[in-house]
Amino acid sequence: SAVISQKPSRDICQRGTSLTIQCQVDSQVTMMFWYRQQPGQSLTLIATANQGSEATYESGFVIDKFPISRPNLTFSTLTVSNMSPEDSSIYLCSVDRLAENIQYFGAGTRLSVL
């Protein structure tokens, strides 16, 4: 498995502001992923964070709204920009440590936007 530290664990934010979520892994990994999970729903992939290149976004998600950084092989950030109440959700990072398609998740960030 992998030890993944994600922070903040939760936050309450005002409409129109931005929040940056951090994900730190205890070892170098090639693939890092960012998901959104609405209450009681499944996981929706936002983007794949690639080291040394731009993130690859899934349909319905754009870089201006969810900019992602991947400065090295152990760290990534996801920013939720210009937030609205519809952005209230759980945001999860995950890694595919051994390129086995098995993913290990951070504890998640519970975001509420007022």
Partner 1 sequence: GQQVMQIPQYQHVQEGEDFTTYCNSSTTLSNIQWYKQRPGGHPVFLIQLVKSGEVKKQKRLTFQFGEAKKNSSLHITATQTTDVGTYFCAGPRAQKLVFGQGTRLTINP
Instruction: Give the interface with partner 1 as residue ranges (CB under 8 A).
Output: 1, 31, 33, 40-43, 45, 48, 92, 94, 96, 99-108
> Shortest distance, CB of residue 74 to partner 1, whole angstroms?
18
Question: By the 8 A CB rule, do 96 and 2 touch?
Answer: no
Nearer to partner 1, 11 or 96 (CB): 96
Nearer to partner 1, 99 or 114 (CB): 99
Two structure tokens written together for 68: 């992602």
Angle subtended at Cα 8 by Cα 5 and Cα 114, rounded to the nearest 5 degrees = 150
User: In whole angstroms, how far apart are CA 50 and each of 13, 16, 36, 65?
Assistant: 28, 28, 18, 18
C-beta neighbour count of 58 within 10 angstroms: 14
Nearer to partner 1, 62 or 107 (CB): 107
Nearer to partner 1, 76 or 106 (CB): 106
> Shortest distance, CB of residue 17 to partner 1, whole angstroms?
25
